Structure 1
């Protein structure tokens, strides 16, 4: 009789667990306008995606997966408990130290409770969560515990103050909103992961998260939307798949993780976001443990390539280094050695040696015009990748010399901090002196000194190193003549 009672109890518990699994919440809402308002990651050229490893994983930086329960708070779990915790573990070098990571998880409730759409806890937008972490910050789970029964509790002023210490640097979307098959998503997600950026995704119009015996998702259609985190990929897993961290508990699939095949990922992942945390190479300054300033480093390369594939020949201006940070010095840094006729087409290839911000301004002497050339079309000004290139305007189009011959100047700003580029352009248009002097005047208090910069002679390339806490920007001026 005891054995039968035990069997009945086991069956009851099994049924209860199945019921709980079926009742687990989701909660992601989609809004095209909100998504497309987020800056898109820099438009890397095709070769920047080459030579990616066949597999890569951030799983060693993940916390133990936990459950959101029936609450529709997946956005808080994916962005806070998932991506924010992973980024923090990466920054602190806690790989495979699950105990340490679990002690420092970020609260899903702190984020979700402030961005929820309704008091019945049934949904939120990822965009709102990312913006909250960037502007106000987030707190650890120990400071704001999760309660699946309610989402209406607001953080205290003390808790909000703690959150300011954990702001992320920025966030970006990986691609545009599309209703068609977009094969570029796969390499963009891989590139972000290899760059050690967790990717928050929105799984769109599905019914269940059931997996096969290999923990690979069985695709299906429905009306659910669910936010999760991509933590790795493997080209050999089921023909190529991404590994996903879910918020349905440790008992879900493979200890809280499962796989989505590349084709299914492209078909049903609607939105993708990269969280960028503050780290030693993208802060405005590198700080040592003794709170003294270490060396600031900044470097970049730029190539001007004609439509026939050849490079425009350039040379370093005389005394470019000595006159670099003298505001009244009007010479450009580099000069294109040949003149080109109107209608000549070319493309700009730009590379960053450290993660940082990049801007491009164009000046035309014939009509005194000053224009922002990059960032454009709502792309990000933050270059989140090293040793990778972007093509301007892109790989399919060229810049063309207009029918106004004269002396044109390209100005590239490499910066360790975000710049108010519209303010700089305004000062470059209407200030006193010539274009070069006006830009220098706008940046004079934050430029690297010329003595801290090494310029290449026969290519547009530089390396800058400074101990100054105010050294933030290196402007490169390139003179071009067309006839």
Structure 2
């Protein structure tokens, strides 16, 4: 009897150790190591952003609003969370690009523009991902997914459900036709000029206008803490994460302990955590704040390698008869003054006085309607040159409306050749072949600059009688209802 009692006690002790002691031992083992290492748990979270610097580089660069203009003051905090569909879990499939672009961003655009419940109109991550994924459903290139959204569109989740076990389903011809109704207008990359450093001002400007931002970044390590109860919803990357980041940037993806992941930035707050961005993830509601999380500005700038702004969509409440309005001016450097103009004839404006040689100035454009902007100028030999877009990589589309300054980092200057400088500003509802227009103007050696511009634009030009002008510091132009698409203003600057 005593022997049986002893055996029972031993069995009970072994059982207790198995239930509690083993877990404690595992905890103690982990405590001797860095808890930010990538774990098997981390591998359960699907990622799938495939970094492609060449394709990111070929994406047109967004031209931000002038951050120094009082006309462009941004709120201290903006969140599009109310327009976002409820975060879901992509599972182990590498479909994050589909979740970030079609499910999150495209749904937000629809909800913002149409005022509809995002959960009733959420778009399918599978529609885009299934057509753009790599081998074995292991990921996709963000640029390719966005190009597809622009050219082919997507479908609602209800019409093309997500299946975490396969990415083999392809749309039929009827579904492809239906998807075209849900295309995006376009996208830019949000970087500082031609480098890959993320332009935070540009990103905040997009979000403030209701346009979400798609990002690609390496994640892992300490981000797993956001799966734990009681987390603040803030990812504070550890030193080990930063070491992994350097490996990842250098191309050592396997050795970095991090994985490429696409997500959607839906907000920012200049005060929260000292300044942070709000991000929607695709790892379920158990992650972070019900599927969302925050990153401090400095950490975000360090980790984010790709950022794309999606063109905002017209509001369903917008007046279809709203006039096409723009204001144009030439602010003088280091001054509150502008070169002032009066209407000379037709589409041509001349300065109200003669300005001294060496005067430095910029071009200012304020738009209230999304449009494309181009600036060309006349050389002394009668040929023309392009002032904007600066290069073929810079986007002429100014869909985030407001005030912009050209050039951003330099100035125009009245030189000592001749007594007049001439530029033309073209604002169009559709993209123009500016190189072709510039060459046509250059080849025309007779007539005024306005006449050359008129001839080059042909029947796209909005007639003078459909335009209303007022002048103060700026030339304010309003176009009445017309099927034409281009406002052209020629500015003659008298100098001596």
Q: TM-score, normalised by structure 2?
A: 0.81
Deviation, 1:473, is: 1.6
Deviation, 1:312, is: 4.9
1:233 aligns with 2:248: no
Cα deviation digits, residues 424-454 of structure 1 (max 9, x gap): 2222122474331121123342333323322
1:133 aligns with 2:149: yes
Deviation, 1:414, is: 1.4
Matching residue within 231, 234, 249 for 1:216: 234
1:295 aligns with 2:321: yes
Q: Which residue does 2:309 correspond to in 1?
A: 274
Deviation, 1:402, is: 4.3
2:65, 2:205 within 8 Å by CA — same for their partners in 1?
no
Deviation, 1:398, is: 1.5
Structure with larger Rg: 2
Q: Which residue does 1:24 correspond to in 2?
A: 45
Deviation, 1:336, is: 5.5
Which deviates more, 47-56 or 165-174?
47-56
Aligned-partner Cα distance in 2 for 1:65–1:307? 48
Aligned-partner SS, 1:231? strand
Which deviates more, 444-453 or 256-265?
444-453
- Residue 29 and residue 442 in structure 1: after superposition, are their counterparts in 2 closer, same or farther (change >3 A)? same
Q: Which residue does 1:122 correspond to in 2?
A: 138
1:306 aligns with 2:332: yes
Matching residue within 51, 54, 64 for 2:76: 54
Matching residue within 235, 240, 246 for 2:281: 246
Structure 2 unmatched runs, 5+: 1-14, 20-38, 242-256
Which of the two has greater helix per residue? 2
Q: Which residue does 1:417 correspond to in 2?
A: 430
2:62, 2:395 within 8 Å by CA — same for their partners in 1?
yes
1:174 aligns with 2:190: yes
Which deviates more, 101-110 or 42-51?
42-51
Taking only aligned residues, the RMSD between alpha carbons, in angstroms, comes to: 2.8
Q: Which residue does 1:397 correspond to in 2?
A: 410
- Residue 178 and residue 70 in structure 1: after superposition, are their counterparts in 2 closer, same or farther (change >3 A)? farther
1:475 aligns with 2:491: no
1:78 aligns with 2:100: yes
Q: 5 Å matches for 1:60-209?
A: 60-94=82-116, 97=117, 101-116=118-133, 118-176=134-192, 185-204=199-218, 206-209=220-223
Q: Which residue does 2:376 correspond to in 1?
A: 361
Aligned-partner Cα distance in 2 for 1:405–1:204? 56
Matching residue within 17, 33, 45 for 2:66: 45
2:66, 2:404 within 8 Å by CA — same for their partners in 1?
yes
Aligned-partner Cα distance in 2 for 1:278–1:235? 26
Aligned-partner Cα distance in 1 for 2:341–2:194? 44
Matching residue within 416, 420, 428 for 1:407: 420
Aligned-partner Cα distance in 2 for 1:310–1:104? 48
Which deviates more, 194-203 or 230-239?
230-239
Aligned-partner Cα distance in 2 for 1:63–1:306? 47
Aligned-partner Cα distance in 2 for 1:462–1:257? 43
- Residue 466 and residue 422 in structure 1: after superposition, are their counterparts in 2 closer, same or farther (change >3 A)? same
Aligned-partner Cα distance in 2 for 1:179–1:208? 28
Q: TM-score, normalised by structure 1?
A: 0.83
Cα deviation digits, residues 368-414 of structure 1 (max 9, x gap): 1211111113221111233x3222222x4222344532533110011
Structure 1 unmatched runs, 5+: 9-17, 289-293, 325-331
Which deviates more, 130-139 or 39-48?
39-48
Aligned-partner Cα distance in 2 for 1:215–1:421? 47
Aligned-partner Cα distance in 2 for 1:82–1:141? 11
Aligned-partner Cα distance in 2 for 1:207–1:34? 28
Matching residue within 461, 470, 473 for 2:475: 461
Aligned-partner Cα distance in 2 for 1:161–1:352? 34
Q: 5 Å matches for 1:330-409?
A: 332-335=348-351, 337-341=353-357, 343-364=358-379, 366-377=380-391, 378-386=393-401, 388-394=402-408, 396-409=409-422
Deviation, 1:30, is: 1.4
Runs of 4+ that moved beyond 6 A: 18-21, 177-180
